Amino acid sequence: MKRGMKIGLWTLVLIVVVAAFAVTAVRRLKHEAVASIESIQAVAGVPVDVVRAGIAPIEDWRTFVGVAEGWAQATLTADLPTRVTEVSARVGDSVPRGAVLVAFDPFDPSRLAMNLEANRAAYAAAWTDSQRIEALFAQGAVSRQMLDHTRAGCDAARAQFLTAERAVRKDTPVAGMVTAVLVQPGDLVEAGQALVTVAAIDSLRVPLELSGDERALVRLGQPARLRLPDGRLLAGRVARAAFSADAESRLFAVDLILANPGLALRPGTLVTPEVLVLEGHDLPLVPETALTREDGRVFLYVLDDAGDDLRARRREVTLGIAASDWVAVAAGLAPGERVVVAGQNRLNGGARVKIHADLTDTARPGQR
């Protein structure tokens, strides 16, 4: 029995020793595995993705919302209370400058003082008299004073006739498209009442109302554009930018003028034009993912290509303008230098690296 107890005791001791060796071996293997990864990276370098900083145009286009209207717009109105006898325009019609769009009753009693035919006759008589005096003056038969008096009388008669004509016929002062017809034949209208609206739409005006921050980005003459659903671009510019905000809305009025070839866009359309608020051409560009930030400062990991020992050194930089996922570097980086865009979290200043992927050929600066 004692012999059996001894055998059991030695067996237990053997099991404990084997277990201790197993635990030590597992711990040693784990330690050696971690150490081997660190040692490999210390020798071969931390794998990183890089991009070579290049120079390319970078643009920042900001999008706004507005309603397109004709760049020049005229609303014809009645001069006196009267009756409409003819409307010769429909919405959508293209009309030349000077086209008569609305006519009124020339025999309306309220128009007796502006009788068109009487004024036409008076102008014709004044013009004939003026021509006669011109001929006599050329012969030396009348004085310069009489000639000037006759000319003044003719000009006055012409002005009175044109006033009377405008009172019974309304013509458009601009060429364009009829965008509103507000009366019909037979309607009685009041003085100042709107009749027809005509908009010149070979170019379009897009009025905007901007906040103070938005207005700070916009300047006269900046390029503007509007992309149509079919992919075409209407080019334009900032034509007006108010210096003072509206007293009630506290917004700044800004006008864009856009070319409208082929009348591709109709007035009244809700549009989202873009304005080029910033652009750069001579600064190196890097992806946003290359940047690391600390306490308000910006850093890049830049490859040091000296010799065969490839290292990434942390460098503070000053940023320029940004557009989409790219940013221009105003100071601290030269064109052609390679920067780390993935793997920075495993780096410290001067760490040895190896290039996992060079994304220079696949990455291209974008536009916002």
Which residues fall within 8 angstroms of residue 51, CB to CB, at 6 or more apart?
A: 286, 287, 290, 338, 339, 341, 358, 359, 360, 363
Nearest to 353 by CA among 317, 315, 314: 314
Average pLDDT over residues 137-143: 88
Domain of 213: which CATH number? Answer: 2.40.30.170
Q: What is the pLDDT of residues 320-343, one digit of tens each?
A: 877 768 888 888 998 889 999 998
The answer on 285 and 260 residing in a single domain is no
pLDDT of residue 113: 44
User: Could you identify the residue written with the tokens 């910033």?
Assistant: 278
pLDDT of residue 185: 94
The answer to whether residue 10 sits within a structural domain is: no
Which residues fall within 8 angstroms of residue 68, CB to CB, at 6 or more apart?
A: 204, 205, 206, 258, 265, 266, 267, 268, 269, 271
d(Cα 58, Cα 131) in Å, to the nearest integer?
68
Count the Cβ atoms, other than its own, within 10 Å of residue 185: 12
The answer on 146 and 88 residing in a single domain is yes
pLDDT of residue 367: 43
Q: What is the pLDDT of residues 215-254, one digit of tens each?
A: 998 999 999 999 999 999 999 999 999 999 999 999 999 9
Domain of 309: which CATH number? Answer: 2.40.420.20
The answer on 171 and 102 residing in a single domain is yes
The domain boundary residue, chosen from 152, 177, 194: 194
The answer to whether residue 174 sits within a structural domain is: yes
Average pLDDT over residues 5-23: 61
The answer on 216 and 130 residing in a single domain is no
Q: How many domains are contained in the chain?
A: 3
The answer on 287 and 353 residing in a single domain is yes
Residue 10 pLDDT more than 70?
A: no
The domain boundary residue, chosen from 164, 194, 224: 194
The answer on 318 and 266 residing in a single domain is no
User: Would you place residue 17 in the very low, low, confident or very high pLDDT band (cuts 50, 70, 90)?
Assistant: low
Q: What is the pLDDT of residues 83-92, one digit of tens each?
A: 899 999 899 8
The answer on 217 and 190 residing in a single domain is no
Cα four-point dihedral sign 281, 284, 288, 292: negative
Full domain range(s) for residue 342: 44-58+281-358
